[in-house]
Amino acid sequence: MAARTNKSEVWKSFTKVTSNKVRCNFCSKELAVTGGQTSSLHSHLRSKHPGESAQSCATPTITSFTTPRHCTDSRKEKITTAIGKVIVENMLPISFVESESMHELLALLEPGYQLPCRQTMTDRLDRQKSDVAEKVKADLTAAQHVSVTTDIWTSVSNDAYLSFTASYIDGNWKVKTPVLATMFMEERHTQAVITESLGHVADEWQLNDKIVACVHDGAANIRDAGARNKWSDVHCSVHKLQLCITSAMGVDKVTSNPIAKCIGAASRLVGHFSHSPMAVGELRKRQASMFPDSQPKKLIQHCKTRWNSAYDMFERLVELRWPVCAVLSDRNVVKPADAKTLKLKDENWQLMSDLLPVLKPLKIATCVLSAEKEPTSSKVYPMLSGLVDDHLGVSDDDASTVSTFKAAVVDSIKQRFGMTDLATACSPLVIASVLDPTVKDLSGSC
């Protein structure tokens, strides 16, 4: 007897799963069938897919290829997790999930997915934070020694925060630097308050017995905070170098230092361009006219807390000197009174050009010592020795201001870093004492 065949066209819209169960080719829903009855299949097509016909499944068409796929629960979970990572990595507000354009994008890419509400995403991010914290705790538990970097900084809304960053080497010999805490400082920034706050974070992460050093700036209220927690206090080498350079420039106090005056005059000039859209637009046009093969560049403003921004400002001004002067000379753009105030003297332009070769090695040293993923303790004294011996040596060709600046930086480096004897300072034993403060005997150094 010949086998029975399914002649109804409705079977072309479904795929058999078992002898009594089929799956819809449009929405993947599974339906039960008994004895070859097709009434339930017809009913499903009429109610769920009224625009589709059974014949459309016989021959693949554009319609069948563009039918939205079913978004499974596991896929929904992956999409939600990915959205959470986007919010965290880009520091977006959680209200991002309520964005109309975001809903439109996901409706286009994944019609079967529905964005969670703000509260749901908040709860999810809290869980993700807990998961990350557990992984970091596991790493810290495996680490033998941990060093701490801390600083008090102020937000744009003038709120003070204390940061606590741990540095350690994991089992794969990779440097890890997670930020374990960023605390809002409501009380006065006294040494007692800072010490207690640092100790609280260390206790929370169970690090007190593993912390060997606390790196910070030279502020009086934090200078012995590590020692009070029985950690070795280490003054940040980059902060020391910053103090050496700014002191030689004279920008840390009211002074008649020519470099400080030049920085002030250059900052006023750059400040005018940052507040005048007309001047910025004209500067862009002048650059396009004078340097047709280059992309227009913006001036860089000096920030007093980062000395190397003075180098960046000088370098960009020297590069754009003639376009800047052309804009200042245009009375349709800059008023005569403003031009007189903003115009830099020839000696300022010359001083900036003379300082650039001197400041560049200092900037490189600053960047190297600021590297996050590379231990820098062993590099400090050899690098400073190279600066003092090679790059900051006074030559007969130096202008008087430049030679004075070089000498001032060298004296400050020797004083702040204790480098009266460079050969001794760069010896292996001294470098070891930087890495391990318990090393005290320097009698064997050469």
Asked: is 145-235 a CATH 3.30.420.40 domain? The reply is yes
Structure confidence at residue 68 (pLDDT):
57
Positions in the chain short of pLDDT 50: 1-5, 54-65, 423-446
Structure confidence at residue 433 (pLDDT):
46
Q: List the chain domain ranges.
A: 9-65, 73-133, 145-235, 243-431
Contacts 24+ apart (CB under 8 A), 364-371: 365/241, 366/238, 366/241, 366/242, 366/307, 366/308, 367/308, 369/237, 369/238, 369/241, 370/238
Structure confidence at residue 440 (pLDDT):
41
Tokens of 52: 């589709």
Tokens of 54: 């059974």
CA distance 66 to 205: 52
CA distance 354 to 134: 53
